[in-house]
Amino acid sequence: MYPTTFTEAARQYLENLELENGRNIAGKTQQIYQELIPYFGAMALADITRFDVERFKRHLLSKGRSEATVNRYLAVLSQLFHKAVEWDWLVKVPCKVVKYREENVRTRYLEAHEIDALLDAASQDECPVIEPFIRIALGTAMRRSEILSIKIEDINCARQEIFIPKAKCGARMQPMTAGLTTYLTRYLQYQTKPGQTYLFPANRSISGHREEIEKPFYRVVTAAGLDRYQICRHTLRHTAITHLVQAGVDLPTVQRFSGHRSIQMVFRYSHQSKDHLHWALEQMESRLKTRTKEQPS
């Protein structure tokens, strides 16, 4: 029997993706249970209209989601519609899903003093997990869903690694900085409980771990004196990758660290600061002068 309601279809959709070895199933599962099922759940899949989708978009925007984030939810919704036709649940897609147009603009990243301010504000915030969340993001460049779903057994401080079983581009071992390793060693010793499975547990969550971090994150951003309309959770990942590039790390190594599928995707994160560009030019000039002096007269 084919699924009829959106909830039935969404659950079957996730099961079928598992069988087909679909991409980013963990992220799609989070998006479906976090927003799509709560909004469309009881509706008949075939009866969802363009008007319903537009109201859903406004609903997400009213909750403070960016247009880029809304587009990620719409992408899942659109794929579900098309898979429903492919799997013969529907004769045709219920409606066209129109995404917001995303401008290709420079993404903001944090300078060293801004990182210090953010961590200082996080250490004083009432949310006990916001500081470790920010530190992990800056020390690994992991995505939000990857961080929130970390299992304690997957943290190997001795090897300075975190195992990510369901990363966006496939399972990987994620290296972490020495500073983060020291921090997590103490955190695991003093802030976790015996028998605890997830680093950020949540008893009321279906997954067993925390799913949301937006409210405390934006509270900390504001407390740090930063613009919450320029700084988002992804800024932390972008910051870590950008500073790696600015430190002179080669792009293949950055790609391994960030977990991107291709080097081309890493280029989007390699914005250079003016100070770094001036430093690079100075290195080039110094090298050219040295080579000139080495030439026989």
Position 261 scores a pLDDT of 66
Q: Which residues contact 48 (CB under 8 A, 6 or more apart)?
A: 6, 40, 94, 95
Position 217 scores a pLDDT of 94
Q: Is 21 left (phi over 0), alpha (psi -120 to 50) or beta?
A: left
Position 21 scores a pLDDT of 81
DSSP 94-105: SS--PPPPPP--
Q: Confirm whether 6-86 and 112-232 share one CATH topology.
A: no
Position 227 scores a pLDDT of 85
Domain ranges for the chain, please list them.
6-86, 112-232
Number of alpha carbons in the 13 Å side-chain half-sphere of residue 135: 20
Fold of 112-232: hpI Integrase; Chain A (1.10.443)
What is the spatial distance between Cα 83 and Cα 87, in angstroms, rounded to a whole number? 6
CB neighbour burial string for 111-147, b if at least 16 within 10 angstroms, e if fewer: eeebbebbbebbeebeeebbbbbbbbbbbbbbbbbbb
Q: 6-86: which CATH number, 1.10.287, 1.10.150, 2.60.120, 2.40.128?
A: 1.10.150
What is the spatial distance between Cα 22 and Cα 128, in angstroms, rounded to a whole number? 34
Per-residue pLDDT of the chain (297 residues; tens, 9 = 90+): 788 899 999 999 999 998 888 777 888 898 999 999 999 999 999 999 999 999 999 999 888 887 888 998 999 999 999 999 999 999 999 999 999 886 544 567 888 899 999 999 999 999 999 999 999 999 998 988 899 999 999 999 999 999 998 777 678 888 888 999 999 999 999 999 999 999 999 988 888 999 889 899 999 999 999 888 788 888 898 888 888 877 777 777 777 777 776 666 666 655 554 555 555 666 667 767 655 555 554
